[in-house]
Structure 1
């Protein structure tokens, strides 16, 4: 049995930033012919492993991707690239 609890491999998250609200609509209409947004990479190619029983802290400046990383680990935000493996063993219960 593996001693890894969380494994993150080449995790990336890119947001599309629009200057104006109508640019989002224009992007949907023209598809890939023209780009009406700029890309903001909140995370790019992040990899690490956390073993069972380890305590980990995530530190960094504002806007460095801490919350984005935690949201992707929790499953409330989808990554643009890479993958997350959660090796969780739930205890069996007897009634």
Structure 2
């Protein structure tokens, strides 16, 4: 079944990569750029533990950048700005 699972995209383990979060003001920012047509869409997650529950806000922008590293850095900067502007209200 290994051949067929790879052929039909069922081998998800090979595509999953661990993202190291960046801590900012008690939030965890996970930069997760999305590959699109040879470029990378700025995307990721902002997470925070609130009242014993992990809250997550998915962050996707329309911006495309040429490199994955640039998209990760841009996402971190935008996420920090978003946290400063909205705080915990992003989870409502």
TM-score by length of 1: 0.23
Q: Which structure dedicates a bigger proportion of its chain to helix?
A: 2
Ranked by relative contact order (alpha carbons within 8 Å, sequence separation 6 or more), the top structure is 1
TM-score by length of 2: 0.24
Larger Rg: 1
